[in-house]
Chain A
């Protein structure tokens, strides 16, 4: 079945902003999809509200709509573009839902648009709980038995039938309150009756308990002719109970015997056959650890996070193949892009194992609960590849960049034995380290009883536990045996970094490296080839291993080599985390492309399986490796590049500038001295002084006394932060000695590094990204932050072009940017943040690297920022590239970047915005005027709810006057105001109508929390107040709001922006803008 030639113009729907549970994997999927469509010569229309993505580049699609992900927008785009087909299975749940809504209400039919690939019938079968269950039953696939019961007897009858234990989940309670696991009738009686009371609707879901079963996933594909393949089977190390997105996952499965493996593989293939999938699909199973019993947990009839992982784990481009299937191709007509000699209808076989570890944001959200359960909490993930499981695990741990090079976590070493034993029962992000610590303390004991004990508590398969044991045993051996070359090689095969071997043997890292090199113990790089070496692979996708031969092309530099053979290594940005998101993957990928265009061989190192940069056909060679100095240097030893690009991979990459520089490795572009100059307080102060540039006064201090004294000299409020951090991590604004001391108490983490105390200026914050070629700078545009300084720039609404920066100030901004860039020796990108206050311009900070605004400013100005920066880094001059210095001409439209948060997923996390970044993603709003651009951004960010037209206001005393002005405007728009006591009084005073709503502890429906919970409001505006109890109340109000899905604004500036957009809301539709051709 060749391609369906009636398909000519395809609409691709993306997944919108990055939130927990829906991240960069959909940029990877969407980008691959668009490229596959273009490869076929089709016209591609794209909708995605996320400007940080690669898929929204004009080179990826023919028409790009960075617009809110709503059915209204998609309708508008379809009306305007009239595509003949739409693909919805590559844009996560968001894309899928949009397609289904439009299919179900008849819009797609009315406009003759076909949903290609997996169709609406199939999607419905997989997504609707009831139909899905019936479908599974019809083909004899077991699901987890459950019932919804409104009385105790129903629950008891169910448990009698299925057996104990059972899980009780009350309907409509937050965070699973009132639920639990009952192991016998008495427990069920107690929990279920409590649950029935707790549930607002008096319902409980009673489900057979399968916690502790193995969790196994299969990625499978099926074409329109009914051919099916299993791409990859993956096993969660954490048994059922922890969300698969929060589980440590290994691929391929390791503890399943052939009969179980074949049983589940066949079940997944039977399921996609029955559902009629045409494309990719993910099937999750729970498998009883001591029998062949299993249950289908979930089926995702689309590309998913697991698909991205499976793609990278086995080297099979699932999104590309799914796209080709949607176009009508059969699996046996699609070439395997890795081998080029086999076809896609071939099940990948791997000769290594992959380990995925999630990256959690608990370092950012210190108040958030770290326990892991059914709600996913990770923002990103890392993957590693090795023939040894131990090495894969340790590589993944290193890739997380948590400051650990091993399974040693110092805080656990301090626990008593009893406390540690207790910690074994706690399922949180530290469990892996707890298990290792336990084994470390019992290393001299017999191994099997230890593993049995840990298995009994955790239900983690003994095989995995034995591997943790194997790592800990090597730690132990290293402390007591002479370090022979054999032992050293053995440790390296287990994935031990030099730093760990050095620590265990009491030597220095340098000693270990020297010993290693003198014994010829270096890693070899192997190819990921989908076929376990059976066929020759064409694809340059590598991972390291010790004791194996090297397959990567070793560089033998010759002076006469043509330019095409010049190699440059680009360092990627590692896992997606708050403060370092997909933006840096965008920059890394564009740097690779720019290098290739300039005639270089571009080599990328990264470890994030979700991203475009780790797609095997992006760079000339991809090394899937941790981004630590040792891991990077080992690759450089083979590649011998002319230099390394550190400025595009965020903090991950720039952090490596120093160790690489120290080893004499050429940093391309801004030299290490420039990186250091921007970070080192003293050097940077001197530069600013020389350039006659103001900055908020401040100092770097090392002790508590100095910190407090500096604060007194500067006068409160002060901005306090540790140096060398990302996204304002650990940053605070302190208004008093007490607050400063509180903060200092939590700062042991940054022991030995200075703390920066700055004067806090509450002015207008603006930022620029600039390209410097060593002569002068080109500034794509100025971005103005709507919120006052104090809210982290990544969490602020950012507006281009700026509306409040006077012409004269712009000149100053340009001069300052140029002077700082030249003084630091920048070649490439620099990001500078300024505060405008009282007619003066202050510099807050400068980062000589790409920033999170680069994709945004590139897209809205149309300037190829990363491309130019890469060329500048290589030594080209901007005028020779056809660009003038100074500001790039402003566009005729306004673009608003709106942050998007994932607070509802992070139980306990503080919602109030401040100097520490909290957002996980962003959306763009674009229009010819600011209010409409804002409106689009608010819609895209999910801030607009218009159900009740009620708003709750509860603000600090300092904000009350300003609040009243806003309240009046809300009333004019027809909103009812609800306010707590203090705010209510202030409103009354100003002659404003409002309803009083009672405090947190009050009883009744007008209790503020109940009121929010019952979704009686569309918006909560809450600003932090002083005082312990009102601070606690505020925290609760904000938490309940986000957990109830009610937008909560914690800055009056944001509220005012929202008002502005609502006041100018025109009755007609908002026009959609094709940014690729604007």
Chain B
């Protein structure tokens, strides 16, 4: 069906909409500059409630492999692309992206001049979605759906236990939207996980605590859980949204980023080593530099100098980016040290 994206400033983008746009549909709109990994982006709980514009124009070429899901299903509200591949070709591909989106009832708008749309979205000032973006669907543009709704979404996790082979420590997760790649990395390091839906009471008996990423505005979250975890005095590792929640619980301020850090090419400098790593990120907020002591800043963004990592205590680390194996191992070392002390 014909779809037209309109911005309040008057710009119009025409394309086609497949599926999913039903009454009550609402979402935020963001763009992601990653050149691969569409499955991972769609299924990242942090993407919940967002219509995602991909800057890579050729999407779906290698299809979908369910193993790449970062949670049990896609969470994005909609996908906006230039071209969705007609065929999918890859030895791991189990389905076409189109079929997967259909199955999970996620609308996809194709044929959009995504670069021009991104150029308009990038210039937004002062917040996540201050400007009205709407999509009109149907030949006569009969139905209007807002694409710039505030991010209210919450990820609903299940209580579960995941055991690592040769467990060296057990970590409790206050799950706001744990990605499977982080889960797998921890497991492969011998860390077992006790996963609680965020907000559930977690006691102080675990070897450490994990505050993972997730969707929405950090300021909308109740911080009781985070504060309880801090008070245990056990090692804490926080990522993405968890990094923001930890900062808020420690009294720091959060500001929204315009247009957000969403991509696989974001340079982050480790203050201690001076080394720069290229990171993957998917969020729209950052810790206000002036609200934290400069001594605890462990990582900064090379491009915009924003805070990327904080070392609140020797055993309380948080990073805004999706951690690589090395960063995870650092946390595992802390767990081991803390375990040895006991």
Contacts and interface: CB of A to CB of B under 8 A. Distances in A.
Interface of A: 225-227, 229-230, 252-259, 261-262, 289-291, 330-332, 341-343, 345-353, 387-389, 447-448, 451, 461-463, 466, 470, 526, 531-535, 547-549, 551
Given A225-B274, A387-B82, A547-B113, A349 B68 contact: no
A332 B267 contact: yes
Interface in B27-48: 31, 33-37, 39-40
A248 to B, nearest CB: 16
Given A258-B37, A351-B56, A342 B82 contact: no
Given A466-B89, A533-B122, A258 B39 contact: yes
A738 to B, nearest CB: 54
A342 B263 CA distance: 15
Among B40, B82, B118, the most chain A Cβ lie within 10 Å of the Cβ of: B82
Contacts of B331: none
Nearest to B123: A536
A548 B113 contact: yes
Interface stretch (B18-26, B57-65, B131-139, B221-229): B57-65
13 contacts: A255-B90, A257-B92, A261-B36, A290-B91, A330-B276, A331-B276, A341-B303, A343-B303, A345-B276, A347-B265, A463-B87, A533-B33, A534-B31
A470 B86 contact: yes
Nearest to B277: A227
A898 B272 CA distance: 57
Contacts of B267: 229, 332, 343, 345-347
Nearest to A288: B91
A349 B55 contact: yes
A343 B302 contact: yes
6 closest Cβ contacts across the A-B interface?
A532-B55, A347-B265, A258-B37, A387-B57, A463-B89, A290-B91
A254 B264 contact: no
Contacts of B57: 351-353, 387-388
Among B86, B263, B266, B302, the most chain A Cβ lie within 10 Å of the Cβ of: B302
A257 B36 contact: yes
Contact of B118 (A253, A388, A470, A534): A534
B103 interface: no
Contact of A534 (B33, B37, B269, B274): B33
A261 B33 CA distance: 15
A349 B265 contact: yes
A155 to B, nearest CB: 30
Contacts of B68: 257-259
A331 B302 CA distance: 10
A388 B83 contact: yes
A551 B115 CA distance: 10
Nearest to B269: A332
B36 A332 contact: no
A351 B274 contact: no
B278 A535 contact: no
A462 B89 contact: yes
Given A227-B276, A534-B122, A342 B61 contact: no
Contacts of B62: 255-257, 463
Among B259, B267, B269, B274, the most chain A Cβ lie within 10 Å of the Cβ of: B267
Contacts of A388: 57-58, 83
A448 B89 CA distance: 11
A342 B268 CA distance: 12
B256 interface: no
A531 B33 contact: yes
A255 B86 contact: no
A257 B38 CA distance: 9
Interface string B250-279: 000000000100011111010000111010
B115 A466 contact: no
B153 interface: no
A496 to B, nearest CB: 16
Given A257-B65, A351-B56, A548 B34 contact: no
Interface string B274-305: 11101000000000000000000000001100
A227 B275 CA distance: 6
B85 interface: yes
Nearest to A527: B115
A252 B35 contact: yes
Chain A interface, DSSP helix/strand/loop, else mixed: loop
A97 B57 CA distance: 41
Contacts of B264: 347, 349
Contacts of A230: 278
Interface in B96-126: 111, 113-116, 118-119, 122
Contacts of B265: 346-349
A343 B304 CA distance: 10
A353 B58 contact: yes
Contacts of B88: 463
Contacts of A261: 35-36
A552 B170 CA distance: 57
A347 B278 contact: yes
A350 B115 CA distance: 10
Contact of B87 (A225, A387, A451, A534): A451
B113 A351 contact: no
A253 B34 CA distance: 12
A351 B114 contact: yes
Contacts of B58: 254, 353, 387-389
B115 A351 contact: yes
Among A342, A343, A534, the most chain B Cβ lie within 10 Å of the Cβ of: A534
A332 B35 contact: no
A462 B303 contact: no
Nearest to B57: A387
A547 B278 CA distance: 33
B35 A349 contact: yes
A258 B70 CA distance: 13
A350 B82 CA distance: 13
B89 A548 contact: no
A349 B34 contact: yes
Contacts of A548: 113, 115-116
A532 B269 contact: no
A548 to B, nearest CB: 4
Given A342-B302, A343-B267, 14 more contacts: A225-B274, A259-B92, A291-B91, A342-B303, A346-B278, A349-B35, A349-B55, A466-B86, A466-B89, A526-B115, A533-B122, A534-B259, A549-B113, A549-B116
A262 B111 CA distance: 28
Contacts of A256: 36, 62, 90
Contact of A346 (B65, B274, B303): B303
A526 B116 CA distance: 9
B276 A462 contact: no
B71 to A, nearest CB: 16
A906 B265 CA distance: 42
B87 A349 contact: no
Contacts of A532: 33, 55-56, 115, 118, 263
A346 B34 CA distance: 13
Given A534-B118, A534-B122, A255 B61 contact: yes
Contacts of A462: 87, 89
A470 to B, nearest CB: 7
Contact of B115 (A227, A259, A387): A387
Contacts of B65: 257, 259
Contacts of B92: 257, 259
Nearest to A342: B303
B115 A533 contact: yes
Nearest to A466: B87
A254 B61 contact: yes
Contacts of B115: 351, 387, 526, 532-533, 548
Contacts of A533: 31, 33, 55, 115, 118-119, 122
A255 B118 CA distance: 24
Contacts of B116: 548-549
A470 B303 CA distance: 40
Contacts of B33: 349, 351, 531-534
Contacts of A346: 265-267, 278, 302-303
